[in-house]
Amino acid sequence: MAPQSPYGTAEFDSRAFRTAMGQFCTGITVITSIDGVGDPVGFACQSFAALSLDPPLVIFCPMKTSRTWPVIAERGSFVVNVLSNRQQAVSAVFGAPGQDKFASVEWDPSPAGMPVIRNSLTWVECGVETVTDGGDHHVVIGRANVLGEVLQDKPLLFYRGGYLSTEHPRVTPVQEELENFLTWNGGDTWL
Ligand SMILES: Cc1cc2nc3c(=O)[nH]c(=O)nc-3n(C[C@H](O)[C@H](O)[C@H](O)COP(=O)(O)O)c2cc1C
């Protein structure tokens, strides 16, 4: 007979679930688009990840109550702005409901006209590929169409419900980083 596990509980509330999931450190993005009259929209989004290299796919999860999501769904495209640790205020503005979130940030249009927030670590313009149900969120898969330049800056991190940054600035040149990545011996199944 299999031994009984000494760990875990099947009875937990959403607060305990949030605390457990808060141990997983992520970066922060602002996902932007343009509405039918050309006004910019966007929201702070932690639930973002690279999904596939070939084809190049990303994934993010907007709450079903998000006001930005219907605009992205209608347009069929969006930009993911990856925030640097100098953009905590940007995360705060885009992470809360507000009349004009873009009043306090400088931005330029991506090739398809969607907001690229200045000083973001990088950005990627995507088209919506599929949308599936994810409980109180949608699960959106997008195909990367255009990549922005990469700034040599530190990322803004989110951990245990608060902001965090890496201790030391990354001074590694881009080419060296790339070579480190390509020689990584942790297996070849990941991106
Ligand atoms: C750090 C951070 C991460 C967030 N991550 C998400 C997320 O992954 N998905 C989501 O729907 N909302 C997320 N939010 C909350 C939304 O940004 C917030 O509800 C926002 O007001 C939604 O704007 P909207 O209604 O204009 O779409 C996050 C907020 C913060 C501050």
Pocket test for ligand 1, best of 25, 35, 45, 75 (most atoms within 8 A of CB): 45
* In-domain check, residue 79: yes
Assess whether the C-beta atom of 97 lies below 6 angstroms from ligand 1. Answer: yes
* In-domain check, residue 21: no
* In-domain check, residue 110: yes
CATH code where residue 134 lies = 2.30.110.10
* In-domain check, residue 129: yes
Q: Are 90 and 39 in contact (CB under 8 A)?
A: no
Assess whether the C-beta atom of 91 lies below 6 angstroms from ligand 1. Answer: yes
* In-domain check, residue 186: no
Q: Are 165 and 156 in contact (CB under 8 A)?
A: yes
When pLDDT is averaged across residues 105-132 and rounded to a whole number, the result is: 98
155 vs 9: CA distance, rounded Å = 34
How far, in Å, is the centroid of ligand 1 from the Cα of 65?
10
Among 102-116, 139-153, 161-175, which stretch is predicted with the lowest mean pLDDT?
161-175
- The total of structural domains in the chain comes to 1
Report field, pTM of the whole predicted structure over 0.85: yes
Question: Please, which pLDDT band fits residue 160 given cuts at 50, 70 and 90?
Answer: very high
Dihedral sign of CA atoms 27, 100, 115, 58 in order: positive
- Domain assignment of residue 112, given as a range: 27-165
Of 159, 123, 130, 132, which Cα lies nearest the Cα of 21? 159
